[in-house]
């Protein structure tokens, strides 16, 4: 309600996007068995390492692999 009352398109858009990610986390990630959740977290660490190393090709490959594993 506060977001709607703000009448700020940026805040409304940002809040909507954030809520979508929270729902995804809640309904998909938390329902996975622990081993799958740990594997996903490891994949995210690998993506971050590739980004930190400025390895765009490696990061893109890892992100695609991560998305396809959902």
Give the per-residue pLDDT at 69: 76
**C-alpha distances out from residue 11 to 4, 19, 20, Å:** 9, 12, 14
Query: For the segment 25-58, what is each residue's pLDDT rounded down to a tens digit?
Result: 777 767 777 677 788 889 999 999 999 999 999 9
CB 30 within 8 A of CB 18: no
Is the pTM value of this prediction over 0.85? no
The mean pLDDT of the chain is 87
Percent of the chain at pLDDT above 90? 49
Give the per-residue pLDDT at 70: 61
């Amino acid at each position: 309600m506060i977001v709607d009352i703000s009448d700020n398109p940026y805040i409304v858009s940002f809040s909507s996007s954030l809520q979508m990610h929270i729902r995804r986390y809640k309904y998909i990630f938390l329902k996975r068995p622990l081993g799958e959740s740990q594997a996903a977290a490891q994949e995210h660490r690998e993506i971050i390492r590739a980004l930190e190393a400025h390895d765009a090709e490696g990061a893109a490959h890892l992100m695609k692999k991560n998305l396809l594993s959902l």
